[in-house]
Amino acid sequence: MKGTYLLIISLKKDKTIKVGSLDKLNFRKGYYFYVGSALGKSMSLENRISRHFRKKKKKRWHIDYLLADEDAEITRVLTFKGKRECIIATKLSKNFVGIKKFGSSDCGCFSHLYFSETDLGKL
């Protein structure tokens, strides 16, 4: 299947993490909402999400740096049919603080990673 996904990530401690070309970023303890997609021919949505759960992998995307940290854990995943990445990111931007340019280097969005001090519960 091809489509868009939303990762809900719990970060157990405040962290400073070097994130590729974004350099060192400060991450506060709390919850992060990351929007991504798998739309090309090379990887299915299921394979992309499965890759995100692996701690040991080549760091290719910004989210790989956060997820490689021992205190970061994916707690839930939501999936959507079609290309909805920027639509979902725009909706998240109305209620949450975004990490500038995180995961959005290939589009015009401010960010594809948003922070909340508390979990959203069941979405």
Note the pLDDT tens digit of each residue in 35-68. Answer: 999 988 777 999 999 999 998 899 999 999 999 9
**pLDDT tens digits for the chain (123 residues)?**
899 999 999 999 999 999 998 999 999 999 999 999 998 877 799 999 999 999 889 999 999 999 999 999 999 999 999 999 999 999 999 999 999 999 998 899 999 999 999 887 655
Tell me how far apart the alpha carbons of residues 67 and 18 are, in angstroms, rounded to a whole number: 12
List Cα–Cα distances, 51 to 5, 12, 58, 111, 123, in angstroms: 13, 21, 10, 21, 22
Is 0.85 topped by the overall pTM?
Answer: yes
Cβ–Cβ < 8 Å for 96, 33: yes
